[in-house]
Amino acid sequence: MNRTKTALLGTLFCAFLVAGLPRAGAAQTASADKGALPPSPAQLWRQIRSLQHSQSMMPMTHAFQPGSRMVDVYTTDLSNQAASAAITAAGSIPDVTRYPNGSLLVKENYNAKRQLTGVTAMLKLAFYDAANRNWVMAAYSPVGKEVAFGQVASCDACHTMVSKSDFVFAPPPVQLLPAAVWKAFFPKQAMSPAYLALLAKYPDAVVK
Ligand code: HEC
């Protein structure tokens, strides 16, 4: 074999390596992610507890914001590092178009006496539920008893209204939903008068 031929083969081999490596890497990542199972409801509750302990507030939100119904007259939103970084980078909650995998958002619901009535959470998990932006949806009692978990159609049906911001709402008064929408989803839950007042005051904040 002459030198030119050897050099040519060497070049081809290197080209193959270069072209081949990223593909192999991507395939590995994909299969690893596909194999990643959602946490159990108990495991996710432990992640939520740790955000509660560290009072890891969702950026651009504050404790005891106005909620929509009497079960959530006040709400407090928490988020983990991945989700918080996405919001901070975008500059506002409505400006986040995609949350990275591993993002965790939590909403604590409080009644008028500021007693915790329930906790909802959404965790972004690669390949989990492509039609619903891969969010694992979960609802818990105040002490962590599972109320709903996984692909929860009712959660997705409402949160899809803000698909532009990857299913994540900004808290009142930035974004509001009409009372009729809340009633359709939660017919037995009375609305919070404070929320109705916000609807009257900020009609332009209603999500279309
Ligand atoms: C009728 C509409 C509706 C339904 C149904 C609904 N949500 Fe929400 N959710 C909202 C709105 C609006 C907000 C933002 C306002 C607030 O914080 O109260 C919100 C906030 C949240 C947040 C904080 C992050 C964010 O988007 O602001 C989480 C987490 C959450 N919801 C999870 C759930 C889960 C889990 C379910 C189902 C068990 C659910 N939601 C059902 C409308 C809904």
Work out the pLDDT band at 153, boundaries 50, 70, 90.
very high
Over residues 128-143, the mean pLDDT reads: 98
Instruction: Give residue 159 CA to ligand 1 midpoint distance, Å.
Output: 7
Give yes or no for a contact between 61 and 171, defined as CB atoms under 8 angstroms apart: yes
| CB-count exposure of residue 72 (10 Å: 0-12, 13-18, 19+) | buried
Work out the pLDDT band at 13, boundaries 50, 70, 90.
very low
- Atom 17 of ligand 1, nearest CA residue: 171
Q: CA-to-CA distance for 50 and 42, rounded, in angstroms?
A: 13
Instruction: Give residue 137 CA to ligand 1 midpoint distance, Å.
Output: 10
**Dihedral, CA of residue 62, residue 67, residue 151 and residue 94, to nearest 10:** -50
Q: Measure the N-to-C terminal CA separation of the chain; round to a whole number of Å.
A: 71
Instruction: Give residue 49 CA to ligand 1 midpoint distance, Å.
Output: 18
Q: CA-to-CA distance for 156 and 160, rounded, in angstroms?
A: 6
Query: What's the mean per-residue pLDDT of the chain?
Result: 88
pLDDT score, position 36: 77
Percent of the chain with pLDDT over 70: 83
Over residues 133-150, the mean pLDDT reads: 98
Work out the pLDDT band at 165, boundaries 50, 70, 90.
very high
Q: Which two tokens stand for residue 193?
A: 């008068």
Instruction: Give residue 111 CA to ligand 1 midpoint distance, Å.
Output: 16
Work out the pLDDT band at 41, boundaries 50, 70, 90.
very high
Work out the pLDDT band at 34, boundaries 50, 70, 90.
low
pLDDT score, position 71: 97
pLDDT score, position 108: 98
∠ CA 26-126-160, nearest 5°, is: 135
Pick from 117, 157, 161: nearest CA to 137: 157
- Atom 36 of ligand 1, nearest CA residue: 155
Over residues 38-64, the mean pLDDT reads: 98
Pick from 54, 58, 50: nearest CA to 83: 58
- Atom 40 of ligand 1, nearest CA residue: 155
Q: Which residues line ligand 1 (CB under 6 A)?
A: 67-68, 75, 77, 105-107, 120-122, 137-139, 148, 152, 154-155, 158-159, 168-169, 171, 177, 181-182, 185
Instruction: Give residue 37 CA to ligand 1 midpoint distance, Å.
Output: 23
